[in-house]
Structure 1
Amino acid sequence: MPETTLADLAHEVRSKNAGPFWVTMELFMRDDDGYRIAADESFLNERVIAELYRVDADTVQLFRIPSLNVVKISFPRPVSQGSLRDRDIHAGQHHVPLARLPVERACR
């Protein structure tokens, strides 16, 4: 049986540039139960994002918005937008590791 991921519990998981130096990702959860998992600080926190995206945990910002069942995450881009080493100018693919994050341990 395949693992349940954040994407399975979300209406949408997306990423976008937030200016030339930041990436923002958003988890739009389907319901309160999915939001409870995504917003659980023991499951999804700055350290987890830092490991997924190889950034410093001190630079990660998480915003939990219960009235909308949304978790918003921002962190500095690894390289500035449009620079020679930028492989995703719109940051449109950065959400994939987050979307694939297994949630089994959060459901216990």
Structure 2
Amino acid sequence: MPEHTTLGELAKTVRSKNAGTDRITFDIIFADQATYDHVRASQAVTRSTVGELFGVPDDRITDFVEFDPAFAIKFTLKRLAPSGGPGERDVFGCQQYPPLLSVPVPTPAGSPQPA
């Protein structure tokens, strides 16, 4: 049995999108409370791990929220260039989430693996 699974296997939705002209917001949404609680407890996705994963300093992370009612982890990054500005490569911010898909999440002992 693998020692971990990935965030992409556990999350129902992983997405990124514009949050105004100067920010991109990310949503990681889980289908149920148990999976959400497991990922939170694993510390696989924290403000610190987001900074490392995307190679950004903490001051570019404007928000990091664990939103219990939606079983979601949400965070927002400041863009280096405004949406649609010179040198900016993703006007809608919708192509920034893929690094999240391969984040390893430890598998609890005795847990069934995702199908």
TM-score of Structure 1 vs Structure 2, range by shorter chain: 0.7 to 0.9
**Retained in 2: the 8 A contact 1:25–1:72?**
yes
- The answer to whether the aligner puts 1:64 opposite 2:66 as a matched pair is yes
Would you say the 8 A contact 1:16–1:91 is kept in 2?
yes
Per the normalisation by structure 1, the TM-score is 0.85
Q: What TM-score do you get using the length of structure 2 for normalisation?
A: 0.80
d(CA) in 1 for partners of 2:93 and 2:39?
21
Note if contact 2:7-2:102 (Cα within 8 Å) is conserved in structure 1: yes
Match in the other structure for 2:6: 5
Aligned position for 1:53 = 54
Distance in 2 (CA, whole Å) between partners of 1:58 and 1:36 is: 27
How many percent identity over aligned positions?
29
Q: Which amino acid aligns with 1:7?
A: G
Task: For 1:56, give the aligned amino acid.
Answer: P
What residue ranges of structure 2 are gaps of 5+ in the alignment? Answer: 110-115
For residue 27 of structure 1, report the CA deviation from its aligned partner.
Answer: 0.7
Q: Deviations over 1:45-79 (max 9, x none)?
A: 11111111121113322111112101111110132
Runs of 4+ in structure 1 deviating by more than 6 angstroms, as ranges, are: none
Determine the structure 1 residue equivalent to 2:45. 44
Q: 1:79 to 1:103 in 2, by over 3 A?
A: same
Question: If you compute each CA radius of gyration, which structure gives the higher value, 1 or 2?
Answer: 2
Deviation at 1:41, TM superposition (A): 7.5
Unmatched segments (≥5 aa) in structure 1: none
> Partners of 1:41 and 1:73 in 2: how far apart?
17
Other structure's SS at 1:103 match: strand
Deviation (angstroms), 1:107: 4.2
Distance 1:41 1:74 in 2: 21
Structure 1 counterpart of 2:60, one-letter code: T
